[in-house]
């Protein structure tokens, strides 16, 4: 078994806001260098329901699927299959929990697992994604606390 990536951090905002910024507000903070096209003028979409798609859409209307929502429990939890820049058959699983930690503070807990689905590439993709989370999360925190 390849150890999941587990991350935990706090944001200075209420739970419902933290959830909404990650989901409905994803297009406002997701950086271009974490997309398929790398374009600044695309739209990032997370459809708010189990079975919903996560994807990017270019100004020309071309869509690139990134994942599929598997758990939708606002404002405390959601999960998704993740296959950005990979085939859907190679999807890993992400679960994010938003835990109220006071009136205006939320603890965000992330578990990214399922690296075994990638076979021999599992360890290297885990390491690559760990680095990706490290550069992605400051964008989310800044948006949530703005």
pLDDT surpassing 90 at residue 122? yes
Q: What pLDDT is stored for residue 84 in this prediction?
A: 87
> How many other β-carbons are positioned within 10 Å of the β-carbon of residue 108?
22
Q: What pLDDT is stored for residue 103 in this prediction?
A: 85
Rounded CA-CA distance 93/86 in Å is 13
Nearest to 10 by CA among 82, 99, 108: 108
Q: What is the pLDDT of residues 15-27, one digit of tens each?
A: 999 999 999 999 9
Q: What pLDDT is stored for residue 137 in this prediction?
A: 98
- Give mean pLDDT, residues 56-84: 96
Structural element, H or E, at residue 95: strand 92-100
- Per the structure, the count of domains in the chain is 1
Structural element, H or E, at residue 69: strand 63-73
| φ/ψ (deg, to 5) at 87 | -75, 150
* Residue 104: pLDDT band with limits 50, 70, 90: very high
- Give mean pLDDT, residues 138-145: 98
* Residue 87: pLDDT band with limits 50, 70, 90: confident
pLDDT surpassing 90 at residue 92? yes
DSSP secondary structure code for residue 123 in this structure? H
* Residue 114: pLDDT band with limits 50, 70, 90: very high
Asked if 43 contacts 62 with a C-beta cutoff of 8 angstroms, the reply is no
What strands, in cross-sheet order, belong to the sheet with 63-73? 5-11, 106-113, 92-100, 77-82, 63-73, 53-57, 43-46
The range of the structural domain enclosing residue 26 comes to 5-145
Of 22-26, 36-40, 56-60, least confident by mean pLDDT is 36-40
Can you read off the two tokens belonging to residue 18?
């933290």
Q: Provide, rounded to the nearest whole percent, the portion of the chain with pLDDT above 70.
A: 100
pLDDT surpassing 90 at residue 30? yes
Q: What CATH number is associated with residue 27?
A: 3.30.530.20
Distance from the Cα of residue 43 to its chain's centroid: 15
- Give mean pLDDT, residues 79-98: 94
> How many other β-carbons are positioned within 10 Å of the β-carbon of residue 29?
18
């Amino acid at each position: 078994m390849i150890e999941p990536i587990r991350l935990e951090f706090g944001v200075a905002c209420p739970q419902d806001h933290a959830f909404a910024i990650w989901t409905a507000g994803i297009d406002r903070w997701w950086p271009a260098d974490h997309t398929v096209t790398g374009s600044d003028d695309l739209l990032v979409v997370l459809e708010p329901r189990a079975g919903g798609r996560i994807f990017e859409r270019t100004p020309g209307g071309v869509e690139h699927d990134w994942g599929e929502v598997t758990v939708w429990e606002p404002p405390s939890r959601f999960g998704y299959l993740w296959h950005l820049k990979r085939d859907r058959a190679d999807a890993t699983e992400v679960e994010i929990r938003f835990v109220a930690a006071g009136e205006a503070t939320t603890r965000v807990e992330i578990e990214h697992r399922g690296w075994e689905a990638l076979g021999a590439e599992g360890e290297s993709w885990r390491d690559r994604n760990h680095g990706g989370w490290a550069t992605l999360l400051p964008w989310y925190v800044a948006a949530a606390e703005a």
